Structure 1
Amino acid sequence: MDKPTLVIKLGGALIENDEALTALFATLKTFLDEQPRPLVLVHGGGCLVDDLLKGLGLTSSKKNGLRVTPFEQIPYIAGALAGTANKQMMAKAIATGIASVGLCLADGGLCQVTQLDPELGAVGDCQPGNPALLNGILSQGFLPVVSSIGITAGGQLMNVNADQAATAIAEALGADLVMLSDVSGILDGKGKLVPQLDQLTALDLMEKGVIKDGMAVKVQAALHAAQTLGKPVCVASWRYPDQLLALLAGGVVGTLVTATATV
């Protein structure tokens, strides 16, 4: 494989936007047809989880941007993420003519998952594992679609933040990493796009409360990945297929997150 694998993290809100999801997979198909490159999709599905829990009469809360996951709720959350969300992504890939394989973080030992914090319940800390299965799937020309459900060594299902999951997979593969969400990138206190973000600037924006909650989790994961991978991580939007095509081809879109400041 000449070009490095590209891991693309897709924000959960995308799954509920059929038009945007269709446009995204059409863009991926165009790219794969014109200039093939190994791609891995990693997704969450927070909106689906919210809808399911609400329908079941269950409440849900977040702590520091991470969903508190009582152990009695993890079967439902796993069903929403590794089941419904994953298969909806697969369905869209198939309808677009992209050969794909649906996975979770545990398949082939792709990621090593442990409990992150007892106060969060069944929420997992995700570390790179064995990429052999994923590399085998990629070598056969398939698009892996990976949900952010992990399993501990003891067999406990865990809900893993999708940004952190994508980071661990990119580290396992030595891949490039792009995080796509419903915003154009990371924004400053005035709502303007920050074209490049290093650790010092990120910490400053976090201390000021500009970067917080889920975006803080995303930025921390991107900084960690940039440091571990030794290359920038892109945070951009899935809303603009033309920009995505440029990004897939190596262009600069959204915010580039770097481990250290560049002179």
Structure 2
Amino acid sequence: MKKQNMNRDWIATARTLSQALPYLQRYEGATVVIKLGGHAMGSDEAMDDFARDVVLMQQVGVKPVIVHGGGPMINKMLEKLGIESTFVHGKRVTDQATVEVVEMVLSGLVNKRIVQAINRQGGRAVGISGKDANLMICEQTDPELGFVGTPVALDPRIIRELGDESLIPVIAPLGAGRSGETFNVNGDTAAGAIAGALHADRLMLLTDVSGVKDENGEVLTSLNSEQIKSLTKSGVIAGGMIPKTQTALDALRDGVRAVVILDGRAPNACLLELYTEHGAGSLIRDTAPRVTANR
């Protein structure tokens, strides 16, 4: 009986691989930017699962680019160092002491954890930040917020060069000011800007929710720009989902083919989105999408 069960499992695996063929062909050579949120990183086991998926994507022809956050880790380090945070309109003020901690945590602790996880799975990842090779030049978002930046100029050549060498870029969301300042950039904003500069085929925003929901709490699997604007105006899209959907709209405007907001805690979320008919989470693009092999 056990052997029969194993045979059925292998047959199911083979069938799944066969059904994935159109999607494997569809995304060969595609650039996919993945924003990995701090809450989506989870345990070491979850990180290894994510890293394995990224390595598999590269092995079948995708060019993955990872942009990460790290808010919970920053909060923990600030608390450990006894650095108190002040807030303006609900947003943290990033003074000189805080931005130094942000850079230490994002470019050091968090970035290298992701790099090591990918390398353990057989990939070749390289950690950088938006400050490297003038990848992301920023201007101050709001003087009241201190060293919080908005990307205004991007030079993605370093990402392309790493990809040409079969290296997986892992990017911390820090930018350089024109006078040499270091700016902390919202992770979603950084990922959207980088995806736009690369004209990526897909931007995946991995978060801790299953996607954009309607007024009944059901996930909307397919959305376009006009629907996003309408749902925001009516208050259905609210709270923390507003900046994520705005990032999606900005990325589409800048030339990204499609954006997906999905639950990064779900097993194999990226693979489900790219290589299955139903996808995962909420797919956003300029025209109403159809759930087909061209998703």
TM-score (norm 2): 0.80
Deviations 1:174-232 (A, max 9, x none): 11211111211112333211112333433343345443343211111111111221522
Counterpart in 2 of 1:181? 207
Query: How many residues get paired?
Result: 262
Q: Distance in 2 between matches of 1:229 and 1:173?
A: 8
Alpha carbons of structure 1 residues 191 and 57: separation in structure 2 relative to 1, 3 Å: farther
Q: Distance in 1 between matches of 2:52 and 2:233?
A: 40
Question: Would the aligned equivalents of 1:15 and 1:85 in 2 still touch at CA under 8 Å?
Answer: no
Amino acid across the alignment from 2:109: T
Pick aligned residue for 2:284 from 239, 254, 257: 257
Counterpart in 2 of 1:203? 229
Q: Distance in 1 between matches of 2:236 and 2:91?
A: 17
Question: Would the aligned equivalents of 2:114 and 2:170 in 1 still touch at CA under 8 Å?
Answer: yes
Q: Distance in 2 between matches of 1:65 and 1:235?
A: 23
Q: Distance in 1 between matches of 2:142 and 2:101?
A: 20
Counterpart in 1 of 2:111? 86
Instruction: Give SS of 2:240's match.
Output: helix
User: How far off is 1:17 after superposition?
Assistant: 2.4
User: How far off is 1:26 after superposition?
Assistant: 1.6
User: How far off is 1:99 after superposition?
Assistant: 0.4
How big is the alpha-carbon RMSD for the aligned residues of Structure 1 and Structure 2?
A: 2.4
Deviations 1:8-55 (A, max 9, x none): 11111133422211111122223333x121110000101101111122
Counterpart in 1 of 2:100? 75
Pick aligned residue for 2:244 from 213, 218, 233: 218
Alpha carbons of structure 1 residues 259 and 87: separation in structure 2 relative to 1, 3 Å: same
Counterpart in 2 of 1:38? 63
Amino acid across the alignment from 1:247: E
Q: Distance in 1 between matches of 2:40 and 2:254?
A: 28
Q: Distance in 2 between matches of 1:5 and 1:14?
A: 21
Q: Distance in 2 between matches of 1:153 and 1:224?
A: 23
Pick aligned residue for 1:4 from 20, 23, 30: 30
Q: Distance in 1 between matches of 2:86 and 2:225?
A: 28
Instruction: Give the percent of matched residue pairs that are identical in Structure 1 and Structure 2.
Output: 34
User: How far off is 1:7 after superposition?
Assistant: 0.7
Unaligned runs of 5+ in 1: none
